[in-house]
Structure 1
Amino acid sequence: MIPNVIKPIVILGAILCIPLIMPAFFVSQIGSQGIIYGLIALGTMILAGYGGMISLAQITIAGSAAYTVAILGENSTSIHGYGLSYWIVVPIALAVAVAFSTLIGAAAVRTKGVYTIMITLAVAAAFFYFTMQNYAVFNGFSGYAGVRAPAWIGASSGRKFYYICAAIAVLSYCCVVYVADTPFGLSAQAFRDNEERARAVGFNVVTHKLALNAFAGLFSGLGGILLVWFNGRISPGSISVDVAIDVLVIAIVGGIRHPVGAFVGAILFLLLKTYAIDLVGAERFNSLIALVFLTIVFASPDGLLGLWRRVRHAAH
């Protein structure tokens, strides 16, 4: 058994060594992209794992940040692209994501269960169709292309970009773990477990849920910014309902109550998406994803992280 003090060092060492031992394709398409989708799914994990609210709108929030970067920064389309400095664009994009997340939360915080899912799904679908049909702001179906990351971050296929993504992921993970043990995080877990009792002892549940939505929006917004830099473009296809469901699957498969589960689920999902097509063919790929998802959920409702803990405890 690895001592608890050594585990973070082993994990950090693995993160640092991946670009040195793996091909560039793996580093980019699995490593960098996995971290980006992990950040977006981290917002889903915060809401569901700590607040008991299942949201399908985290890719929508990420998309709002991505569109903000494309519109206020530089792009190769003939409209917008105001060329503002990234030191200005990034904070604005994060503020947009947090505000949008809070607004979505305001529409959903008084609901529970399937009603929360349906409201956030409706928001995700509405935003997708709005961006596809609106040309004045979002440039319709084509979206924005030619969006480049700052020079100091490097190209999306390079090691530097991977390390930047990894550093942001590590800081985000530490932030979420820290906040989970603060009075705010503990109160969120209290109304997750028993909302009526939390309200009876004096918690303002609605306010706490709104604050939790704002907190989750910060990480999904970070993922959206990195996503538009990674792809070099943003279009409605990047924030479709299919992708919203993929993000939820990532969070659940990894472990909905574990911050690191979002990244584990994203890596597994991208491994299957990238390599499984060669084994089963494109027409059966979604069936394989569904089969793996069902197998993991039936074996462990708490995802891969929960399954790993059960195996570890059984071994001891």
Structure 2
Amino acid sequence: MNTRTSPAGQGGRVAQSAVLSPNQNTPGAVDASERWWHALAPRHGIVLAIAMLLPFVLTPFLTFQVMAQSLVLGLIALSLTFLGGYGGMVSLAQMTLAGVAGYAYAVLSLSNGGTEHLTLGWPWWLAMLTALLITTLFATLVGWLSVRTEGIYTIMITLAIGVAFYYLVLQNYSVFNGFQGLREIYPPPVFGIEWRDPLPFYFLTLGCALVGYCLVKWVVRAPFGIALQGIRDNPRRMAALGFDVVAHRVAAYTLAGLIAGVGGILFVWYNGLISPGSVGTGWLINILVIAVLGGMKHPIGAFLGALVFVLLQTFAIDIIDRERFNLVIGGVFLAIVLFSPDGLLGLWAKLRARLRSKRP
């Protein structure tokens, strides 16, 4: 089996001892899954403390428009980071999966804006659970279609699925209301809290992002995640050891679809609407850009990349025309890829290594 270190950090080093047989739980695998929190360094607590305090010092605009949006997009990009960084599968359908969840929730729940006749008016919790179930099943189907290919062919299949879904919602007026989409879809008041307000919505997105991040950190150190990293490095070797390569990859798509689905519902609540523009080709590429900007080998990189993307998107108009925003994003993306294939976190690691080498 390939012996290179996996992007799971210290957890990837137990892959050799953990992935021995699909029918036995080795001590290394059990320890890795039970002690996954050991991968959480003190810096994680510092970052969490800063994230908890930020909304109390920032303006409501920055709290909602920048920070909350970054967490939502980061959660969707996290699903791609999990697939690409730990499974070796680059999918352009993650925003499509988020769109499936968003449209499913919008159709099943009660919305306004003159589209009540298109919705079923289910309770919000039932609509949300059903939307996540639909998204998870659809993600499993996408994975079943994609995992039998590799490289550019996987990218093309997922891109074709994304484009097909875009035209489905664009041309189907009777269900999805065409180009205008479904509007005035806001988070319901629960426990007497208006979750649409900047501060509650920020903490809602922060909680979901934290759960998604911890889930990925746990999975990649569990036996399933270690086996998935082994499949990424050497699928033939893992198949020879008795692991079902296709089943592991499809399961990874399923989990990634669930994460993207949660992000998709939050994205609908953030925008207050869902339309074909939310699942267009531009957004399919944007999620890939966000994941690569932060670093595909690090779960936290998805949120860092999303923050940089949203900051550029929000304030680029002060530097360059709004129509040329993609030029700014493309330039930043090109610079980071050229100087650090591992994204911004890779640049930070190189800087720390250089500073350490200069110490006496």
| 1:185-200 to 2 correspondences below 5 Å | 185-200=225-240
Report if the CA contact (8 A) 1:74-1:148 is conserved.
no
Instruction: State the TM-score, normalizing by the size of structure 1.
Output: 0.96
SS of structure 2 residue aligned to 1:210: helix
What code does the residue aligned with 1:298 have? Answer: L
The equivalent position to 2:218 in structure 1, one of 173, 178, 186, is: 178
Query: What is the aligned-residue RMSD (CA, Å)?
Result: 1.2
Paired position in structure 2 for 1:169: 209
Report if the CA contact (8 A) 2:75-2:303 is conserved.
yes
Whole-angstrom CA distance in 2 between matches of 1:79 and 1:140: 14
Paired position in structure 2 for 1:265: 305
Paired position in structure 1 for 2:133: 95
Paired position in structure 2 for 1:28: 64
Moved over 3 A (4+): none
Whole-angstrom CA distance in 2 between matches of 1:142 and 1:266: 26
**Matched residues, percent identical?**
45
Whole-angstrom CA distance in 1 between matches of 2:58 and 2:352: 28
Shift in Å, 1:247: 0.4
What code does the residue aligned with 1:140 have? Answer: G
Shift in Å, 1:157: 4.4
Whole-angstrom CA distance in 2 between matches of 1:6 and 1:109: 37
Whole-angstrom CA distance in 1 between matches of 2:310 and 2:262: 19
Shift in Å, 1:155: 4.3
The equivalent position to 2:315 in structure 1, one of 251, 254, 275, is: 275
The equivalent position to 1:149 in structure 2, one of 187, 211, 214, is: 187
Report if the CA contact (8 A) 1:35-1:263 is conserved.
yes
Shift in Å, 1:283: 3.5
| 1:122-271 to 2 correspondences below 5 Å | 122-152=160-190, 154-271=194-311
**Higher mean displacement: 276-285 or 174-183:** 276-285
What code does the residue aligned with 2:52 have? Answer: L
**Structure 1 pair 147/255, CA: closer, same or farther in 2 (3 Å)?**
same
Which consecutive unaligned segments of at least 5 residues does structure 1 have?
Answer: none
Whole-angstrom CA distance in 1 between matches of 2:78 and 2:217: 11
**Higher mean displacement: 212-221 or 304-313:** 304-313
Shift in Å, 1:121: 0.3
Shift in Å, 1:196: 1.7
Whole-angstrom CA distance in 2 between matches of 1:96 and 1:165: 21
The equivalent position to 2:154 in structure 1, one of 116, 133, 143, is: 116
Report if the CA contact (8 A) 2:96-2:165 is conserved.
yes
Paired position in structure 1 for 2:355: 315
Whole-angstrom CA distance in 1 between matches of 2:197 and 2:329: 26
Report if the CA contact (8 A) 1:27-1:157 is conserved.
no
Shift in Å, 1:238: 0.6
Whole-angstrom CA distance in 1 between matches of 2:63 and 2:252: 32
The size of the alignment, in residue pairs, is 313
SS of structure 1 residue aligned to 2:149: coil
Shift in Å, 1:5: 4.6
Report if the CA contact (8 A) 1:28-1:156 is conserved.
no
Q: Determine which structure has more spread, i.e. the larger CA radius of gyration.
A: 2
Q: Which whole-Å deviations, capped at 9, do the CAs of 1:203-248 have from their partners, x for residues lacking one?
A: 1110001100000001100000101111111010111010000000
Paired position in structure 1 for 2:36: none
Shift in Å, 1:87: 1.8
**Higher mean displacement: 49-58 or 134-143:** 134-143
What code does the residue aligned with 1:108 have? Answer: S
Q: Which whole-Å deviations, capped at 9, do the CAs of 1:66-97 have from their partners, x for residues lacking one?
A: 01111111111142322211221111111111
Shift in Å, 1:154: 2.5
Which consecutive unaligned segments of at least 5 residues does structure 2 have?
Answer: 1-39
Whole-angstrom CA distance in 2 between matches of 1:86 and 1:310: 47
Whole-angstrom CA distance in 2 between matches of 1:138 and 1:5: 45
